[in-house]
């Protein structure tokens, strides 16, 4: 039985105890009809409770016979009152109380609480930020875990919604997916909801459906938990300049509206606490003081690291066309370089970034007999260019087309980022959360300098 349902059952039994006192009092003063009406209400409540328990625990559950016995006692008292005076108020109260106590004990001790937990990813490629938490919940016999991918939209330059996307069919086969259309949030009211998109309406490039904004989801659960889909480079919490460069991550809507926020380390927790305490210092009425943020922000680590370290080269499925690039003529493997191009660098350098990418491709094409390039652009690059740099789209699209058709390198636009980390021998590319993940996996890292060509 759900935790909330069990709580409701216990509250109902508490109310029945109060009604019993009313029945006892009515009998004592001779108000038989009032006592009989209260008994009818007790009977109806017991039947309703029994149906609820049968639905949750199954027919014949140990509490059901106790409720049936209670109903029989209620009926006997009712019939006695219908025949006229003579029913002992004290004896009726004693019998009802004794039956109720046995039911209360059974509900408390025999019914196990089931916690219902939702995971609401939006992009399949970012599922790794929730997967290890989902696995733990899925393996817990007292937990019902649901993965419910949610729709999201690309945005036009004016902020209006463009295409709608739903990636429910792109998750690993071992992850059971529930349609967001089939889950009634208001009726089910899950105990916990985990999200990894923090932006609500504040992202210029994409937006999840407004129903799934953190400020709206909060009303449907007792605990909303935000775990960032990204992982940042570790910085000293006392380095003011470095903190200033990333504090915008700390003030996003989900950080404010979630009940708990899980970040990648204790140092990162300290940064979030300091930034948010300062952010709300002029609003003491909010109650969001330093203690509030210290309790709310948890430096437990990132599930992205769990996933990256748990994915081994021997376990991943490698497409045939990838193997054609990876293998040498003698069957041995080339060195694999994971080339990552991000959103920020493209927005900053624009055409110069495209020239840098062309230069990188030229260098690795010349080395293709010894080195395999695995190019994995950020999954939001297309949406970002179309929304914020539409003048670059045609040239970028042509660059992708030429690279893919040449066939000497790998183009990875799949949701499985961790496969690329497991396969590669080294990382080259832009600053991103992938840098930290590759470092955690023991892979050498080199950051590209867009200013240097050739």
Task: State pLDDT tens for residues 322-380.
Answer: 999 999 999 999 999 999 999 999 999 999 999 999 999 999 999 999 999 999 999 88
pLDDT bucket at 453, cuts 50 / 70 / 90: confident
- Please name the residues in contact with 394: beta carbons below 8 A apart, sequence gap of 6 or more: none
**Dist. CA 290–CA 288, nearest whole Å:** 7
Position of tokens 């590319």?
Answer: 429
Task: Check pLDDT > 90 for residue 294.
Answer: yes
What average pLDDT does range 9-21 have in this prediction?
A: 96
Note whether 70 and 45 are within 8 A (CB). no
Position of tokens 């999200």?
Answer: 195
* pLDDT computed for residue 57 by the predictor: 93
| Three-state SS at 297 | strand
Q: What does each C-alpha distance from 244 to 175, 248, 276, 291, 372 come to in angstroms?
A: 38, 8, 12, 22, 38
* pLDDT computed for residue 353 by the predictor: 95
CA angle (390 as vertex; 384, 394 as ends), nearest 5: 105
Distance of CA 385 to the CA centre of its chain: 27
**Dist. CA 111–CA 10, nearest whole Å:** 11
The residue among 286, 282, 276, 196 whose CA lies nearest residue 237 is: 276
What average pLDDT does range 151-171 have in this prediction?
A: 94
Exposed, middle or buried, 245 (CB in 10 Å: 0-12/13-18/19+)? Answer: exposed
Q: What does each C-alpha distance from 215 to 212, 218, 225 come to in angstroms?
A: 8, 6, 12
Exposed, middle or buried, 366 (CB in 10 Å: 0-12/13-18/19+)? Answer: exposed
Q: How would DSSP label each residue in 118-146?
A: EEE-SSGGGGGGTHHHHHHHHH-TTEEEE
> In which region does residue 397 sit, left (phi positive, over 0), alpha (psi from -120 to 50) or beta (all else)?
alpha
> How many helices (H) and strands (E) would you count in the chain?
19, 14
User: What is the percentage of the chain residues whose pLDDT exceeds 70?
Assistant: 100
What's the token pair of residue 4? 């909330």
**Dist. CA 319–CA 340, nearest whole Å:** 19
Q: What does each C-alpha distance from 83 to 32, 36, 80, 87 come to in angstroms?
A: 10, 11, 5, 9
pLDDT bucket at 447, cuts 50 / 70 / 90: very high
Note whether 305 and 395 are within 8 A (CB). no
* pLDDT computed for residue 387 by the predictor: 85
Q: What is the pTM of this model?
A: 0.81
| Three-state SS at 340 | strand
The residue among 450, 447, 444, 437 whose CA lies nearest residue 126 is: 437
Strand-pair category, 115-120 with 143-147:
parallel
Strand-pair category, 445-447 with 426-429:
parallel
pLDDT bucket at 451, cuts 50 / 70 / 90: confident
What average pLDDT does range 157-186 have in this prediction?
A: 95
* pLDDT computed for residue 454 by the predictor: 62
Task: State pLDDT tens for residues 256-287.
Answer: 999 999 999 999 999 999 999 999 998 988 89
Compute the mean pLDDT over every residue in the chain, rounded to the nearest whole number: 95
User: What is the percentage of the chain residues whose pLDDT exceeds 90?
Assistant: 89
Note whether 428 and 448 are within 8 A (CB). yes
Q: What does each C-alpha distance from 294 to 3, 236, 251, 276, 297 come to in angstroms?
A: 27, 18, 15, 10, 6
Nearest-10 Cα torsion for 264, 269, 272, 273? 160
Task: Check pLDDT > 80 for residue 36.
Answer: yes
The residue among 419, 442, 443, 408 whose CA lies nearest residue 429 is: 443
Distance of CA 271 to the CA centre of its chain: 23
């Amino acid at each position: 039985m759900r935790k909330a349902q069990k709580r409701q059952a216990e509250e109902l039994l508490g109310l029945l105890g109060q009604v019993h006192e009313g029945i006892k009092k009515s009998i004592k003063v001779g108000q038989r009809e009032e006592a009989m009406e209260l008994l009818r209400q007790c009977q109806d409540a017991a039947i309703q409770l029994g149906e609820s328990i049968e639905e949750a625990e199954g027919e014949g559950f140990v509490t059901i016979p106790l409720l049936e016995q209670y109903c029989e006692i209620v009926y006997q008292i009712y019939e006695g009152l219908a025949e006229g005076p003579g029913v002992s108020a004290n004896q009726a109260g004693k019998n009802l109380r004794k039956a109720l106590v046995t039911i209360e004990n059974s509900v408390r001790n025999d019914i196990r609480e089931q916690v219902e937990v939702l995971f609401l990813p939006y992009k399949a490629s970012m599922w790794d930020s929730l997967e290890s938490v989902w696995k733990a919940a899925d393996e817990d016999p007292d937990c019902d875990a649901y993965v419910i991918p949610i729709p999201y939209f690309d945005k036009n330059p004016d902020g209006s919604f463009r295409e709608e996307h739903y990636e429910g069919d792109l998750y690993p086969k071992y992850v059971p997916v529930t349609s967001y259309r089939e889950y009634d949030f208001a009726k089910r009211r899950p105990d916990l909801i985990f999200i990894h998109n923090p932006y609500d309406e504040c992202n210029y490039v994409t937006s999840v459906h407004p129903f799934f904004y953190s400020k709206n989801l909060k009303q449907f659960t007792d605990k909303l938990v935000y775990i960032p889909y990204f992982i940042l480079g570790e910085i000293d919490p006392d380095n003011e300049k470095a903190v200033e460069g990333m504090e915008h991550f700390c003030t996003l809507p989900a950080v404010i509206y979630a009940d708990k926020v899980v970040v990648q380390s204790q140092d990162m927790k300290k940064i979030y606490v300091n930034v948010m305490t300062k952010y709300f210092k002029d609003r003491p009425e909010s109650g969001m003081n330093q203690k509030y943020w210290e309790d709310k922000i948890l430096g437990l680590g990132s599930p992205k690291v769990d996933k990256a370290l748990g994915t081994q080269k021997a376990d991943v499925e490698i497409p045939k066309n990838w193997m054609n690039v990876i293998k040498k003529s003698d069957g041995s493997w080339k060195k694999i370089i994971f080339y990552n191009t991000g959103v920020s660098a493209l927005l900053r350098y624009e055409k110069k970034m495209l020239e840098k990418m062309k230069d990188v491709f030229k260098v690795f094409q010349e080395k293709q007999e010894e080195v395999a390039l695995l190019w994995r652009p950020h999954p939001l690059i297309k949406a970002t260019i179309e929304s914020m740099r539409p003048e670059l789209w045609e040239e970028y699209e042509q660059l992708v087309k030429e690279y893919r058709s040449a066939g000497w390198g790998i183009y990875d636009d799949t949701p499985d980022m961790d496969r690329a980390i497991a396969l590669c021998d080294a990382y080259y590319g832009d600053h991103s959360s992938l840098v930290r993940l590759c470092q955690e996996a023991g892979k050498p890292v080199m950051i590209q300098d867009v200013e240097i060509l050739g």
